């Protein structure tokens, strides 16, 4: 698989705006999780990791009048300023591959129109015809990264923007998760804290020479795991291990043992089983002193933004030499998708 260089990056979540602030907050152990205005079925406030309202810009007038549902509106408000930041130096329409929540067009019609909506909300010129929205949940931004590497291989002179965005601040969604006893609280120990976020980064061909280069993407891979949370097959926890098999097979050059893993944990035991199987099966891949990063402990579960947030934080850590590379990034969706990527320090940095 073709390598790619990560250029400009930006993230937004409950612990900050911008990759430097979010990574510094995560390293310092700063968490911004508090009681929301939403009550669970026991009439207790749900703990959430939310971006402060005054940090989100209003929707542009042309989008504001469309009558979009609250979740779509908030997702656009999270994505628009984050995307605009990484897109400011583009002189041509942007090819965007973006991860979104696991929603069908039938359940959420706005998912099918998300790209033109985001172009309007962010005032960014998107190449909508060649852009892709991937509504596959937590792993979706890494699926987008995998497709972006293929796009870079096909057109090395064309940079690609990869991202992910999501929010759990939706009354119907929270009610469904609460009924499934998945939201962490006084009555639920094996659950997660809902959050939100957005992350975007620019990918260039390795031949690109630019002022901003943070890390190299060595490989990315994904698999479909029939033994998922809502599946009918036994949950053997093999999906992530299989994805790492493909990741290793796609490497173009030998890499050192993984020095840092940026994990898509959200606090539920299900993902711990995935990681446990993968860690054992690929024990030779990891350095004895590997550091384990699971920043959702700080900003809560960011849903479909998870993969993008982790990639940007891993790239920031490598570029600042605050973590030893290479770095493994992985995320698992509620349904079948498991995905991962391997990052190293950019050769020119």
Residue 329 β-bridge partners: 262, 341
Quick: pLDDT tens for 191-237. Answer: 999 999 999 999 999 887 665 678 999 999 999 999 888 887 888 88
Give, for 201, the enclosing helix (H) or strand (E).
strand 196-204
Q: φ and ψ at 164, to 5 degrees?
A: -160, 145
Q: What is the pLDDT of residue 231?
A: 81
For residue 108, the Cα-to-chain-centroid distance in whole angstroms is: 20
Which has the closest alpha carbon to 292: 272, 270, 320, 277? 272
Cα→Cα distances 333→1, 142, 225, Å: 23, 11, 10
Q: What is the pLDDT of residue 212?
A: 65
Quick: pLDDT tens for 147-179. Answer: 999 999 999 999 999 999 999 999 999 999 999
CA distance 139 to 307: 6
Domains of the chain with CATH codes:
4-204 (3.40.47.10), 218-345 (3.40.47.10)
Q: Residue 154 has which token pair?
A: 């096909």
Residue 126 β-bridge partners: 94
Q: What is the pLDDT of residue 211?
A: 56
- For the chain, residues with pLDDT lower than 70 are 1, 209-212, 347-349
CA distance 262 to 277: 16
């Amino acid at each position: 698989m073709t390598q790619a260089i990560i250029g400009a990056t930006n993230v937004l979540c409950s612990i900050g705006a911008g990759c430097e602030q979010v990574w510094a907050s995560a390293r310092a152990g700063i968490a911004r999780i508090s009681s929301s205005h939403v009550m669970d079925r026991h009439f207790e406030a749900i703990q959430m990791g939310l971006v402060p309202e005054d940090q989100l810009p209003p929707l542009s007038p042309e989008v504001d009048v469309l009558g979009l549902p609250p979740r779509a509106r908030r997702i656009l408000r999270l994505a628009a300023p984050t995307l605009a930041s990484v897109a400011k130096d583009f002189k041509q329409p942007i090819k965007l591959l973006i991860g979104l929540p696991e929603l069908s067009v039938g359940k959420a019609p706005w998912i099918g129109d998300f790209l033109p909506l985001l172009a309007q909300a962010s005032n960014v010129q998107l190449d909508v015809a060649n852009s892709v929205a991937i509504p596959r949940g937590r792993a979706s931004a890494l699926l987008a990264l995998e497709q972006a590497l293929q796009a870079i291989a096909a057109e090395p002179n064309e940079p690609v923007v990869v991202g992910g965005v999501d929010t759990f601040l939706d009354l119907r969604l929270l009610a469904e998760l609460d009924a499934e006893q998945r939201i962490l609280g006084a009555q639920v120990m094996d659950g997660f804290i809902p959050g939100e976020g957005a992350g975007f980064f620019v990918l260039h061909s390795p031949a690109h020479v630019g002022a901003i280069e943070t890390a190299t993407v060595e490989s990315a891979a994904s698999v479909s795991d029939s033994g998922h949370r809502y599946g009918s097959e036994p949950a053997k926890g093999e999906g992530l291990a299989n994805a790492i098999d493909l990741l290793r097979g796609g490497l173009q050059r030998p890499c050192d043992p993984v020095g840092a893993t940026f994990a898509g944990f959200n606090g539920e035991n299900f993902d711990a089983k995935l990681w446990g199987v993968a860690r054992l099966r690929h024990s030779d891949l990891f350095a004895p002193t590997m550091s384990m990063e699971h920043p959702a402990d700080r900003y809560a579960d960011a849903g479909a933004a998870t993969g993008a947030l982790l990639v940007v934080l891993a790239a920031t850590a490598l570029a600042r030499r605050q973590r030893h590379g290479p770095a493994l990034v992985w995320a698992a969706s509620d349904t079948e998708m498991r995905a991962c990527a391997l990052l190293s320090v950019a050769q020119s940095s």
